[in-house]
Structure 1
Amino acid sequence: MRLEDAKPQPGSKKRRRRVGRGIAAGQGASAGLGMRGQNSRSGGGTRPGFEGGQQPLYRRVPKLKGFPMVNRQIYTTINVEKLSSLGANTEVNLASLQEAGILTAVKGPLKILGNGELTVPLKVQAAAFTGTARSKIEAAGGSCEVLK
């Protein structure tokens, strides 16, 4: 088989309809585009995204800064350096930190962050831990328990 032998199937290629070529041709005069208006003209129509003068979607949405997270979880955060003032083998959770006066405002579940040093072993119960916080608590001989 050669390149010149490649032909379309018989009946698969239809002749294009020649519109606007007189009244007897079937689609004469206005060529099926109507009488007047933007879409009857040559080169008529609008660019993609045009909404008839209304502010288009691509100009309405916020730019560059991204969209806010829909169901963002807000945590009450505390660094491990604040936990170093507690006694050894103390159970640390949201309620005990409030009683000790380390936390004053509660915004949500407790999250432990890893800034600072920790020397005393603690049993920490929190909703979330950062990687450095977990490693520092366990290096001091404590344990981390994730609450749901």
Structure 2
Amino acid sequence: MPLQRRVPKRGFHNPCRKSAAVVNLGQLEIFASGSEVTPETLKKHGLVRGKEERVKILGDGSLSKPLTVKAHGFSLKAKEKIEALGGKAELVIPHA
């Protein structure tokens, strides 16, 4: 019998798992002050590639201008940094 059949399978892999593309705050500096950043605009500017359906914003880097950022998820630090500059961090509800 082959080795992969003799060794038991470990863990579980969810085939329906939705992954998210990751964008850091430092990458959002390309947008103008006060502009609205959506997942569609991130794809248009090349910050999100591939077939990722969701976008998560992480707090790495610095942001120097207020932006309205709409994404499917935010880290705690990213949300704090966006709101400290007078911007908004809005959650987008993904389609089912």
TM interval, short-chain normalised: 0.7 to 0.9
Q: In structure 1, what is the Cα distance between the partners aligned to 2:24 and 2:51?
A: 15
Instruction: Show the counterpart of 2:50.
Output: 105
Q: TM-score, normalised by structure 2?
A: 0.77
The equivalent of 1:60 in structure 2 is 8
Within-5 A mapping of 1:1-148? 60-62=8-10, 66-69=11-14, 71-148=16-93
Structure 2 stretches lacking a partner, 5+ long: 1-6
Deviations 1:11-67 (A, max 9, x none): xxxxxxxxxxxxxxxxxxxxxxxxxxxxxxxxxxxxxxxxxxxxxxxx6332xxx32
Deviation at residue 100 of structure 1 after TM alignment: 2.8
Higher relative contact order (CA 8 A, sep 6+): 2
Residue by residue, what CA displacement relative to the aligned partner does 1:101-138 show, whole Å, maximum 9, x if unpaired? Answer: 33333411111111111111000111111111111111
Instruction: For 1:71 and 1:104, locate their aligned partners in 2 and report how far apart those are by CA, in whole Å.
Output: 20
Alignment-mate amino acid for residue 88 of structure 1? S
Matched with 1:12 is none
Structure 1 CA distance, aligned partners of 2:27 and 2:90? 18
Mind listing any 5+ residue stretches in structure 1 that lack a counterpart?
A: 1-58
Measured after TM superposition, the shift of residue 87 of structure 1 is 0.7
Bigger fraction of residues in strand: 2
Runs of 4 or more consecutive aligned structure 1 residues displaced over 6 Å after TM superposition? none
- Tell me the amino acid that sits aligned with residue 70 of structure 2: Q
TM-score scaled by structure 1?
0.53
Size of the alignment, in residue pairs?
87
